[in-house]
Amino acid sequence: MMRHWTMNSLAVGATVVLYDGNPLYPDWRAMRRMIGEGKVAILGRSAIHIYALMSASAKPGKEIQPIIT
């Protein structure tokens, strides 16, 4: 399914950012920083990543302010 999302995004002229690696390394904030620096508008995640954030008691909205440009 993600292949179709990726191809459709490219078809409409969007830029696609693919991340290959552990999104929790060195901590859960690393992915959030990458999202902010890359000005990512839509983020696809797996259920296990969301569960890992919950297990780490991560509070992205409280600890890191959203980046709005």
- The predicted-structure confidence for 9-63, as pLDDT tens digits, reads as follows 899 998 888 888 888 888 888 888 888 888 888 887 888 888 888 888 877 666 6
Residue type, 7: M
Is residue 1 one of the residues assigned to a domain?
A: no
Q: How many helices (H) and strands (E) does the chain have?
A: 4, 0
* Cβ atoms of 32 and 39 closer than 8 Å: no
Q: Report the SS3 class of residue 30.
A: helix
The pLDDT value given to residue 11: 94
- Domain of 38? 18-69
Domain count for the chain, please give it: 1
Token duo for residue 53: 């954030």
Q: Is 61 helix (H, G, I), strand (E, B) or coil?
A: helix
pTM: 0.58
Helix (H) or strand (E) holding 33: helix 29-37
